[in-house]
Amino acid sequence: MDTVMTLTYHGQDRESGREALEEGVAEVYELEDLLSVTAPDSEISALNEAGQAYLSPDTAQLLSAALELCALTGGALDITAYPAVEAWGFTTGEYRVPNQAELEELGDHIDYTRVSLDQESASLPDGMKLDLGAVAKGYTADRLAKLAQERDITSALLDLGQSTILALGAKPDGSPWRIGIQDPQGEGYLGVLELEGQAMGTSGGYQRYFERDGVRYWHIIDPATAAPARSGLLSVTVVSPSGLACDGLSTALFVMGLERGTQFWRDYPELEFEALFILEDGSLALTSGLKDSFTLAQGYEDREV
Ligand code: ADP
Ligand code: MG
Ligand code: MG
C-alpha cells in the first residue's frame, strides 16, 4: 500500500500480543495482493486489464462498499478516477499537466455507475479503470481490528500510514489514544485528537503532490474536472467507528470542500462521522461531535460548523 504502517497490540501477555501482530501483518499483505492497482497480479489489475474479472469475497465486499460510498457522496468519491490519477503522473512519478481536451476526454471515462458487480465478478466498460486506493487502508484497518477482537485483544493502535489510524479500545491504562493532527503548512501538530474505539482518516493536498510554474497539484482528483480537487481545503480528517468510512469520506470531503462537506455531514447522521477541516488560510473548522475530543495546539484557532 506504498506506505509505512505501525501496528501496536496489547495482549494478555507478550506472546498473545505478538501472535496478533503477526496475523495482522499477514492480513495486510494478503489484502494488498488482492487490491493493489499497481501489482500486476492483483484482482483489481486483472479487472482493469481485461474489463472483467472474478473477484474473491473480500474484494467483492470492499468494491460493493466503495460503490455505495461513491453513490452516497454524489460521486465526490469515484473509484473510476484512476485514469486521471495516471494521466497526471501520480502512479509513476512522471508528473505532467494534461491539457483541457485531454481532461475532458478523461472526465468522460470517470463514472462509477458504469461498474457492474455481481456475486463473484465485476466488469468495466472499455477505457475505464478502477482503483480502491481511497478506501483500501481504512478497510484494512477494520479487518485488522476484527481479527484482533477475535483474539480478545481489547487495546490496539493500528496506524496504517498516511493518517489512517484505528484505535481499538483505549490505551492499556484506560485513557484514550492521543493522535497528533499534522499541520499541513508546517512541521508540527496543530492539535491532538483523542480516540477510543474509533478510527480516523486524513486526506490532504500536502501528502502527495508536485509543483509546476508555482502551482501545486495533488493526488486527490475532482471527478467532475479530472483535475486535482480545489475546494479551498488543505486537508480534512474524518472520525468514525468505521475505518472504511473514515478513509472514503475523507477523500470525498476533500473534494466537496467545507460548505458541501458540512451539508453532507448534516444530511447523513446515520454515517456517524465527524470532520475536521483545515482551510487554505490555515484556519480550522470542526463538527460538533469533535468538541470534546480535539484539543488545539497553542497558536491555532478553530470554529465549530
Ligand atoms: P491517501 O492515499 O493519502 O490515503 P486518500 O485516501 O484520499 O489518500 O486516497 C487518494 C487515492 O485515491 C489517490 O492516490 C488515488 O489513487 C485515488 N483517488 C484520487 N481521487 C479520488 C476520488 N475522487 N475518488 C476516489 N479515489 C480517488
Ligand atoms: Mg487513504
Ligand atoms: Mg481515503
Q: How many CB atoms lie within 10 A of CB 289?
A: 16
Cα separation, 304 vs 292, whole angstroms? 12
Pocket lining: 166 vs ligand 1, CB cutoff 6 Å: no
What pLDDT is recorded for position 162?
81
Positions of the chain with pLDDT under 70: none
Pocket lining: 137 vs ligand 1, CB cutoff 6 Å: yes
3-state class of 59 per DSSP?
A: helix
What pLDDT is recorded for position 11?
87
Cα separation, 198 vs 178, whole angstroms? 12
Cα separation, 118 vs 175, whole angstroms? 44
3-state class of 16 per DSSP?
A: helix
Cβ-based burial of 241 (10 A; exposed 0-12, middle 13-18, buried ≥19): middle
For the chain, domains (ranges, CATH) are 171-304 (3.10.520.10)
Neighbours of ion ligand 2 (CB under 5 A): 137, 247
Taking only the tens place, the pLDDT of each residue in 208-263 is 999 999 999 999 999 999 999 999 999 999 999 999 999 999 999 999 999 999 99
Report which protein residue has its CA nearest ligand 1's atom 14.
Answer: 219
Cα separation, 238 vs 235, whole angstroms? 10
Q: What is the number of the ligand 1 atom nearest to the C-alpha of 207?
A: 3
Handedness of CA 269, 117, 244, 182 (dihedral sign): negative
What pLDDT is recorded for position 304?
79
Contacts of 118 (CB under 8 A, 6+ apart): none
- Number of DSSP helices (H) and strands (E) in the chain, helices first: 7, 18
For the record, the C-alpha cell of 221 comes out as 482528483
Centre of ligand 3 from the C-alpha of residue 238, in Å: 10
Find, among 243, 203, 200, 248, the residue nearest to 66 by Cα. 248
What pLDDT is recorded for position 193?
97
What pLDDT is recorded for position 175?
98
Cα separation, 71 vs 242, whole angstroms? 18
Centre of ligand 1 from the C-alpha of residue 296, in Å: 27
What pLDDT is recorded for position 244?
98
